Every structure is written in structure tokens, then in C-alpha cells.
């Protein structure tokens, strides 16, 4: 056997042994789960009321009718956001949530400018509180099936709606619940009561 053939056989054997030794470690590394990067949050949705919606609200002069219309428009956006979420159109759903946010914020601003010690204002706050109470579970359910980069903004709107409920309740009950006046303890008289002096019978005649 020539020296060149021997060197070729030795080199081939060495390469084969190295491949046999290194292959398990390479395979083990490939099987290890790779750490996934945390997704960056998507841009925040714009809080925007469309020109058509704003025109409808400005034309409604009665505050009760205006609040009713505002809630109806907000619910329409919330419903579309739920539908788009089911279709995995998360960006468009986020835009609808932004419009919902803008309308509810507008309603709180309008109510805040009204006369706060009025029974009509308290009724409006109660109506808004009841609406926000129904919206909360819907926002939560939508957030739970939304990817994290969009869910963070739904969470913010969810917290905003919860704070809006608190504001409405505070404004409502703050004027209806009357605190009982604190009773001051009876203080004993400093001066002793004067006992009338009996008049002699001779002077009474």
C-alpha cells in the first residue's frame, strides 16, 4: 500500500470519527427550543370621532338624546372590533377600539361640563355607568384572543372604561348619598340650676 493511499485512508477515518462525535451535539442544539423575542407593541390606535359622527352629535341638542346616540355609536365600533378580531384583522379591530375610546371620552367630557348637582345630570351618569358595565366583559374577552402587540392597547381602553365607571358612580352617588351630621355629645351645664327659694306663707297672703 502506497504512502499516499495510507494518508488518504487516515484522513478519511479522522473526518468520519469527528463527524460521528460532533453530530449528536449539533443535533441536540438544533432540538433545543430557541428563545422567542417579545413582540413590540403595535402603534396605539387613534382616538378619533369621524366627521359624520361628530356632526350627528352636534346636531343633537338634548343631552339625554346626545348621550344615547354616543353610546349607540360606541357600541357599533365595539361590535365591529369584535367581528374583526374573530377574523384576525387585529389592526382594523384596534382602530375600531380607538373610535370607541374617543366617543366614551367625549361623553365624559360633556357630562363633566354640566351642572353637577342636577337630577338630570345624575341620571345621565347612571345611564353611562350601566353602559360601561356591559362593555367591560366584551373588552376583556376580545383582549384575551388578541396578540400581545395589540392586546396592550385594548387593556388600556379596558382600564379607561373601568375608570369611567368609577367617575360616573362618584358623580352619581356623590350627590345622592347624604352624610348623617355628626352628633355632638351633650355638654353638662357649667352653671348649676337655680332652685327657687320658697316664699313664706305670710308674704303670700
What confidence score (pLDDT) does residue 89 get?
96
Establish if 74 belongs to a structural domain.
yes
Residue 167: per-residue pLDDT: 87
Nearest of 49, 40, 149, 37 to residue 99 by alpha carbon: 49
Residue 15 within a domain:
no
pLDDT of residue 168: 86
Mind listing the pLDDT tens digit for each residue in 15-44? 555 555 555 554 545 555 555 555 677 888
Instruction: Using a cut of 0.75, tell me whether the model's pTM lies above it.
Output: no
Q: Tally the domains of the chain.
A: 1
The pLDDT of residue 18: 53
In a domain, 56, yes or no: yes
Cβ 63 vs Cβ 114: under 8 Å:
yes
Q: Output the domain CATH number for residue 132.
A: 1.20.58
Residue by residue, DSSP assigns 109-137 as HHHHTS-TT-HHHHHHHHHHHHHHHHHHH
| Residue 182 pLDDT > 50 | no
Q: Which residue has the higher pLDDT, 37 or 136?
A: 136
Domain extent, residue 106, equals 51-173
The three-point CA angle 110-115-120 to 5° equals 85
Q: Is residue 156 part of a domain?
A: yes
Other beta carbons less than 10 A from residue 45's beta carbon: 24
Amino acid at each position: 500500500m502506497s504512502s499516499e493511499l495510507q494518508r488518504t485512508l487516515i484522513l478519511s477515518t479522522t473526518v468520519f470519527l469527528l463527524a460521528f462525535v460532533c453530530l449528536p451535539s449539533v443535533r441536540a442544539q438544533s432540538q433545543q427550543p430557541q428563545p422567542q423575542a417579545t413582540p413590540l407593541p403595535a402603534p396605539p390606535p387613534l382616538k378619533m370621532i369621524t366627521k359624520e359622527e361628530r356632526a350627528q352629535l352636534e346636531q343633537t341638542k338634548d343631552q339625554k338624546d346626545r348621550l344615547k346616540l354616543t353610546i349607540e355609536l360606541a357600541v357599533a365600533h365595539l361590535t365591529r372590533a369584535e367581528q374583526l378580531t374573530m377574523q384576525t384583522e387585529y389592526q382594523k379591530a384596534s382602530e375600531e377600539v380607538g373610535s370607541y375610546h374617543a366617543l366614551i371620552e367625549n361623553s365624559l367630557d360633556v357630562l363633566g361640563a354640566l351642572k353637577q348637582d342636577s337630577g338630570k345630570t345624575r341620571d345621565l351618569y347612571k345611564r353611562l355607568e350601566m353602559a360601561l358595565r356591559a362593555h367591560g366583559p366584551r373588552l376583556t374577552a376580545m383582549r384575551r384572543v388578541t396578540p400581545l402587540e395589540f392586546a396592550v392597547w385594548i387593556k388600556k381602553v379596558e382600564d379607561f372604561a373601568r375608570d369611567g365607571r368609577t367617575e360616573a358612580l362618584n358623580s352619581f352617588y356623590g350627590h345622592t348619598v347624604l352624610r348623617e351630621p355628626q352628633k355632638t355629645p351633650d355638654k353638662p351645664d357649667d352653671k348649676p340650676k337655680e332652685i327657687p327659694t320658697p316664699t313664706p306663707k305670710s308674704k303670700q297672703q
